[in-house]
Amino acid sequence: MKYIGFIFVFLLTLALGYFGSIPLGPAPPIVPLLDPNHGFWQQTKSEDDFAEEEITLENLTSPVKVTYDENLIPHVFAKNEEDLYRIQGYVTAQHRLWQMEFQTMAAAGRISEIVGPIALDLDRMTRRKGLGYGAELGINFLQEKDPETLRFLEAYADGVNQYIDQLSDARLPVEYKILNYKPEHWTAYKSLLLLKYMSDMLVGDKDLEFSNLRKILGEELLNKLYPDFPIDNDPIIEADHVWDFQPIPISKPDSLNYPNDELVIEPLPQPEEGTGSNNWAVSGSKTKSGNPILANDPHLSLNLPSLWYSMQLSTPEYSVKGATLPGALGVISGFNENVAWGVTNATKDARDWYKITFQDNSRSTYKYGDEWRKTEFRVEEIKVKGEETFLDTVVYTHYGPVVYDRTFRGERQDANFALKWTVHEGSNEQRTFLMLNRSKNHNDYNAALDNFTAPAQNFAFASKSGDVAMRVQGKFALKWPEQGKFFMDGADPRMEWQQYIPNDQNPSTLNPERGFVSSANQHPVAQSYPYYVFDNSYEHYRNRRLNNRLREMNNITVEDMQALQFDDYYLHAAEALPVMLGLLGEPSELSDIAAKFLEEVKGWDLYADPNQKGPTIFYLWWNETYNQIWKDLSNLEVPVVRPNNYQTTLLMKTEPESSVFDLKSTSVTENASDHVKKGFEEMVEKLEKWTEDEGDYSWANYKRTTIQHLVPQFKSFSVANVYTGGGRGMLNATSERHGASWRMVVELGEEIKAYGVYPGGQSGNPGSKYYSNFIPLWANGKYLDFALRKEDQDLPVLFNTTFNPVK
Amino acid sequence: MKFFGILVVTILVVVFVNPFLPYWAVMVILFVIAALLKPGNSAAFWGGGFGMALSWIGLSLYLTINSGSDLPDRMAQIIGAPSGTVLMAVTGVIGFFLGGFSSLSGNLFRNLIKRRPTNIYRG
């Protein structure tokens, strides 16, 4: 009896211990998660609770002091750059380890390893686009041409790894605990992968959609609905800029044949609308103090942990401060004692597609001119949690990887399209930032930018010595008109990119007469620029609002620039609403609620403040009208893009009776006015329903800005319904899921004044008080003081840590 | 009395050893302690159970109050529990079963190898 009793209880005990330690279904092992000594309860602590005064680190050459200010922003004081980057790695990993690793797992197409087969398609896509391939080429490039940068990347990786190696179960970030995996070692390769991932986030193309539109609409209507340049073009480089170089001659080859397939493949995931940014610099002639002021606010998807991590990095030679990307070296958008710089995305159709004609089913050779060229096969091994490893063979041509083929999203057996993208070329973006961090003047800035390939960026610049400058930098193919706008034939060598625009012929300007430089993702140049420029996603509103304001402003202060970053004047509404009200006329027999909506939108001051009702009414009315107008296009079975808001508004205003407004699918002939009226009815119906379900329809309430955790399913780690204004096409571009991911204003006087804020916090731990503490400031247009610190300055400090070399 | 003895010893073990060792190591230690002290089945079970439950609840309560963090509530939402307080109770219940059954097994094990006096006169 005793034996049976013992065996029964003992087995029960073993079972409790065992089943508590293994994952049950999708749930993580429950006991390690709940054990308050090692599980998630430990993440209730904030970083200052386990501050260490001294940490001994291997491979350091001299002691490094790190001062955390009251917002947990680290200020690193190192004697040399190698120590500096080693500590940057260690400190960043302390606060953002899970995020850095997760982002590179995504970039490497390895999410299936963590979450299982649901991510397999995503991972295949990522790998077939060749991000990992690009990063491998990047490492080769560094090994051959830039051992210094590689050494710094390895120092950074070593810093991260020394943190990982001493990491206790208790301190393991909570996401690892929930998803039940452990961090791997960091490598230089992963840092490059992260930069490729940024490219992927920022670069899109609409080649597929335009190929379809060209076939459906014909050239003439295509150019009317989708002109390459808008009438009100207010480009990045001032329109009257004189190009002082001899352009390389290029002309469109005669009698080209574009592939004329029915393209029903699913397009690549695109950067979402609203991904964009502002930057500008005003010269001393326009400021109250006489010092240049630079401002930057990159708009990206709003996530937690925040994409950015603030830091000051100091050596005896320089001190740089601003926003870093966890996983990459140095400061990405920031300033030092002499200069400040900021970045916005400079999209310019950097991705092109070539139709590949294989000789036979083995796909080992493809047609190029009169010859058959050899392909290469790259086998992607995708580990899948809980399942067998998935092997995906990707065919590489000299253009790039064949993304779509019979095994992946190709509806037709012979659909083979290769992707040509600058990301697949060895390049050295990391060096640009290392050099910018130590820049002293405009020449240094230009030298730094020469290393930058992709994703193309508009680099705004200002220096203490009084210069303001802007340069659109990337590796841009020298294209003949319309090259790359549509899918091209990979068998015709004339379709191929022949050469690149030399760096010194990329659009740039220094101290223009107007006293400022600016960019907001609009067309980079006026039509006078000698090379072909095309992209579907150029901005038409933020740029004009920004330039109009900068032109009329004088005696500018830092506060003025902060206010301009937060400006929520709805220029699209200002232009479209009068047209829509005109086309609506004086409707009779309006219901009470419809009359109320109309009254409210008429009385609105055109600013999209959070408490306003006007923006909600306009936004809905516009969307319904727009959907009505382009109904025929939306109903097509193939992917297309619809004309942009600007062009649509222009057509409604200038030719409301045009045949473009007639829907072929109906028996009557519509004009713009019909669509506006129909749109108004739909808006009333939808908004009435919305009000019944959700209540107050003021803008912030309707828009529901959400800052989402990188794992969207972890809803409670997100911050939802942030009360803030702005929206797409406004300088404060805060929409539902996108907006200013970092705001910075720097005045370059004798002493640098700097202010910054981002929608998140320094800590990546959802339990920490530093996880989301900047969000209320950010939502109200407030800033943190970002002034440079000296090593022994008497300022508020959260704690200090000294890193000592091993004796 | 034996109950309180095991209770106190269990609390001491969880508070001072658990921070450095995983929960299963604590289970092994509680097993050994019960086997050595042979407190009796009931005292082992309740003492070990409440000892571990109280120390786990105590620590999670301390961490939550001391930090003011709302992480327990956020975690509860992700796991599908009603609230952080419920999560704390679940932590306690799991601690109770782990501690209680470890101690009980230890005590039962000791009963197995305990030599039974066969001749009371020879001792």
CB atoms within 10 A of CB A389: 10
Query: What is the pLDDT at residue A207?
Result: 84
Q: Identify which has the larger pLDDT, A113 or B117.
A: A113
Q: Is residue B55 predicted with pLDDT exceeding 60?
A: yes
Give the type of residue at A312.
Q
Kindly list the residues from chain B whose CB atom is less than 8 angstroms away from the CB atom of residue A37: 18-19, 59
CB-based contact A34 B77, cutoff 8 Å? no
Residue A719: beta bridge partners?
A707
- Contact by Cβ (8 Å): A749, A716: no
Q: Residue A450, class by beta-carbon neighbours within 10 Å (0-12 exposed, 13-18 middle, 19+ buried)? A: middle
Pick from A807, A804, A805: nearest CA to A54: A804
Three-state DSSP class for residue A118: helix
In A, what residues contact B, Cβ < 8 A? 2-3, 5-6, 9-10, 12-13, 16-17, 20-21, 27, 30-32, 34-38, 40-46, 49, 169-170, 174, 178, 713-717, 766-769
Query: What is the pLDDT at residue A25?
Result: 75
Q: Is residue B120 predicted with pLDDT exceeding 70?
A: no
The full DSSP string for chain B is -HHHHHHHHHHHHHHHHTTTS-HHHHHHHHHHHHHHH---HHHHHHHHHHHHHHHHHHHHHHHHHHH---HHHHHHHHHT-S-HHHHHHHHHHHHHHHHHHHHHHHHHHHHHHSPP-S-TTT-
Give the type of residue at A563.
A
Pick from A545, A549, A623: nearest CA to A580: A623
Three-state DSSP class for residue A402: strand
Three-state DSSP class for residue A489: strand
Tell me phi and psi for residue A396, to 5 degrees: -110, 130
Would residue A314 show up in a list of annotated catalytic residues for this protein? no
Q: Is residue A747 predicted with pLDDT exceeding 80?
A: yes
Q: Is residue A180 predicted with pLDDT exceeding 50?
A: yes
Is A568 annotated as a binding-site member?
A: no
Instruction: Tell whether B114 lies on the interface with A, counting CB pairs under 8 A.
Output: no
Instruction: Tell whether B64 lies on the interface with A, counting CB pairs under 8 A.
Output: yes
A16-30, A201-215, A401-415, B29-43: which has the minimum mean pLDDT? A401-415
pLDDT tens for each residue of A601-645: 999 999 999 999 999 999 999 999 999 999 999 988 888 899 999
Mean pLDDT of chain B: 89
Taking the C-alpha atoms of residue B85 and residue A653, their distance in angstroms, rounded to an integer, is: 60
CB-based contact B27 A32, cutoff 8 Å? no
Q: Residue B38, class by beta-carbon neighbours within 10 Å (0-12 exposed, 13-18 middle, 19+ buried)? A: middle
Q: Is residue A450 predicted with pLDDT exceeding 90?
A: yes
| Diameter over CA atoms, chain A | 100
**Residue of A10, A21, A36 with shortest CB distance to B24:** A21
pLDDT tens for each residue of A470-507: 999 999 999 988 898 888 889 899 999 989 999 999 99
CB atoms within 10 A of CB A286: 19
Please tell me which residue of chain B has the smallest CA distance to A713.
B78
Taking the C-alpha atoms of residue A756 and residue A783, their distance in angstroms, rounded to an integer, is: 5
Kindly list the residues from chain A whose CB atom is less than 8 angstroms away from the CB atom of residue B71: 40-41, 43-44, 174, 766-767
CATH class belonging to A571-703: mainly alpha
The full DSSP string for A696-753 is ---HHHHH-EEEEESSTT-GGGSEEEE-----TTSSS---SSEEES-EEEEEESSSEE
Write out the H or E segment, with its range, that includes residue A470.
strand A468-473
Q: Is residue A800 predicted with pLDDT exceeding 60?
A: yes
**Residue of B22, B66, B111 with shortest CB distance to A2:** B111
Instruction: Tell whether B78 lies on the interface with A, counting CB pairs under 8 A.
Output: yes
Lay out the sheet containing A54-57: strands in order across: A54-57, A799-805, A64-68, A74-77, A309-314, A319-324, A333-336, A339-345, A457-463, A468-473, A508-510
CB-based contact A34 B59, cutoff 8 Å? no
Task: Please report which confidence band the pLDDT of residue A20 belongs to, taking 50, 70 and 90 as the band edges.
Answer: confident
Three-state DSSP class for residue A803: strand
Please tell me which residue of chain A has the smallest CA distance to B103.
A13
The full DSSP string for A666-702 is SSS---HHHHHHHHHHHHHHHHHHHHHHH----HHHH
Q: Which DSSP symbol is given to A300?
A: E
In the numeric block, the tokens 């991972």 are attached to A123
Please tell me which residue of chain B has the smallest CA distance to A714.
B78
Is A349 annotated as a binding-site member?
A: yes
pLDDT tens for each residue of B13-26: 999 999 999 999 99
Taking the C-alpha atoms of residue A443 and residue A469, their distance in angstroms, rounded to an integer, is: 11
User: A2-200: what fold?
Assistant: Penicillin Amidohydrolase; domain 1 (1.10.439)
Mean pLDDT of chain A: 92
Residue A339: beta bridge partners?
A463
Q: How far A20 CA lies from chain B's nearest CA (Å)?
A: 9
Taking the C-alpha atoms of residue A398 and residue A375, their distance in angstroms, rounded to an integer, is: 8
Q: Which DSSP symbol is given to A186?
A: P
Q: Is residue A413 predicted with pLDDT exceeding 90?
A: no
pLDDT tens for each residue of A576-611: 999 999 999 988 888 999 999 999 999 999 999 999
**Residue of B90, B98, B112 with shortest CB distance to A2:** B112
Segment A107-129 shows an average pLDDT of: 91
CB-based contact B78 A178, cutoff 8 Å? yes
**Residue of A3, A12, A767 with shortest CB distance to B71:** A767
Query: What is the pLDDT at residue B123?
Result: 43
- Contact by Cβ (8 Å): B88, B62: no
Query: What is the pLDDT at residue A218?
Result: 86
Write out the H or E segment, with its range, that includes residue A293.
strand A293-301
| Percent residues over pLDDT 90 in chain A | 74
Tell me phi and psi for residue A318, to 5 degrees: -155, 160
Find which of B108, B114, B115 to mutate to test the A interface (most A CBs within 10 Å of its CB): B108
CB-based contact A36 B27, cutoff 8 Å? no
CB atoms within 10 A of CB B36: 11
The full DSSP string for A224-262 is HHS-SS-TT---SS-TT----S-PPP--PPSS-------
- Contact by Cβ (8 Å): A46, B67: yes
Taking the C-alpha atoms of residue A721 and residue A173, their distance in angstroms, rounded to an integer, is: 26
pLDDT tens for each residue of A561-584: 999 999 999 999 999 999 999 999
CB atoms within 10 A of CB A793: 11
In the numeric block, the tokens 């409670």 are attached to A716
Q: What is the ipTM of this complex?
A: 0.92
Write out the H or E segment, with its range, that includes residue A597.
helix A592-602
Q: Where are the beta strands (DSSP E) in A155-292?
A: 276-282
Query: What is the pLDDT at residue B116?
Result: 59
Which of A199, A211, A277, A518 is catalytic? The answer is: A277
Domain ranges of chain A: 2-200, 571-703
Task: Compute CA distances A614 → A263, A573, A606, B50, B69, whole Å.
Answer: 41, 10, 7, 61, 38
In the numeric block, the tokens 């070399």 are attached to A805
- Contact by Cβ (8 Å): A688, A599: no
Lay out the sheet containing A719-722: strands in order across: A303-304, A705-709, A719-722
pLDDT tens for each residue of A150-164: 999 999 999 999 999
pLDDT tens for each residue of A677-713: 999 999 999 999 999 999 999 999 999 999 999 998 9
Find which of A2, A41, A714, A717 to mutate to test the B interface (most B CBs within 10 Å of its CB): A41
Kindly list the residues from chain B whose CB atom is less than 8 angstroms away from the CB atom of residue A45: 63, 67, 69
Taking the C-alpha atoms of residue A3 and residue A459, their distance in angstroms, rounded to an integer, is: 78
**Which two three-digit tokens encode residue A673?**
């006015």
Taking the C-alpha atoms of residue A790 and residue A788, their distance in angstroms, rounded to an integer, is: 7
Instruction: Tell whether B107 lies on the interface with A, counting CB pairs under 8 A.
Output: no
Query: What is the pLDDT at residue B2?
Result: 84
**Which two three-digit tokens encode residue A240?**
């009257």
Q: Identify which has the larger pLDDT, A259 or A456.
A: A456
CB-based contact B24 A38, cutoff 8 Å? no
Three-state DSSP class for residue A636: coil
Taking the C-alpha atoms of residue A784 and residue A794, their distance in angstroms, rounded to an integer, is: 18
Kindly list the residues from chain B whose CB atom is less than 8 angstroms away from the CB atom of residue A23: none
Write out the H or E segment, with its range, that includes residue A83.
helix A81-107
CB-based contact B108 A46, cutoff 8 Å? no
Q: How far A256 CA lies from chain B's nearest CA (Å)?
A: 57
**Which two three-digit tokens encode residue A78?**
């190192």
Find which of A8, A16, A37, A716 to mutate to test the B interface (most B CBs within 10 Å of its CB): A37
CB-based contact B31 A6, cutoff 8 Å? no
Q: Is residue B114 predicted with pLDDT exceeding 90?
A: no
Q: Is residue A275 predicted with pLDDT exceeding 70?
A: no
Instruction: Tell whether B98 lies on the interface with A, counting CB pairs under 8 A.
Output: yes
